[in-house]
Amino acid sequence: MENAKKSLLSVGRFLGVVLLVDLGLFLAVTLWCQMGTRCTPLEWSERMFWVGIIVMILAAPAVFAMLSTGRGFSGNPMTAGMDNAIALDIIKSERQGLNKRMIYALRMGLIGAGAIGISALIDVLTR
């Protein structure tokens, strides 16, 4: 039960950060449209869409970094014996790095999808 609570709290925090960043992006685009150049609702929606695409593009380096995780932990045959002695530490370190990249890519992807969803909502509500 305790693990379920921790997991639920972790997911809630993760989604809360995603929603807060989407709200910040929405406010930034809204201020950009209202304070700067006056936007039509279509331009407002398009700017929000492109902000979402840019955020998704920012996730690309993490996705590319995750592609190279299939290599072994001992690359040099001369140090293979020493590497095997500390294999658990090496694997644990690599796994932590992979988890960080995966969380970053997932967060940026969800933020971008949320921004695109807000763009669609703007488009639908202003017609």
- pLDDT tens across 13-37, in order? 999 999 999 999 999 999 988 887 7
Cα-to-chain-centroid distance, residue 16? 13
Name residue 63's amino acid. Answer: V
**Within 13 Å of residue 52, how many CA atoms lie on the same side as its CB?**
23
Q: What is the pLDDT of residues 64-119, one digit of tens each?
A: 877 766 555 556 667 667 767 777 787 788 788 888 888 999 999 999 999 999 99
Six token digits for residue 107: 């967060």
Q: How far is CA 21 from CA 14, 115, 126, in A?
A: 11, 9, 23
Cα-to-chain-centroid distance, residue 71? 24
Residue 48 is predicted with a pLDDT of: 95
Opening angle at CA 92, ends 88 and 97, nearest 5: 150
Domain count, the chain: 1
* Residues ≥6 apart with Cβ < 8 Å to 107: 14, 17, 18
Does 58 score more than 70 pLDDT? Answer: yes
Residue 71 is predicted with a pLDDT of: 56
Domain hosting residue 11, numbered range: 2-125
Predicted TM-score of the model (pTM)? 0.80
Residue 70 is predicted with a pLDDT of: 57
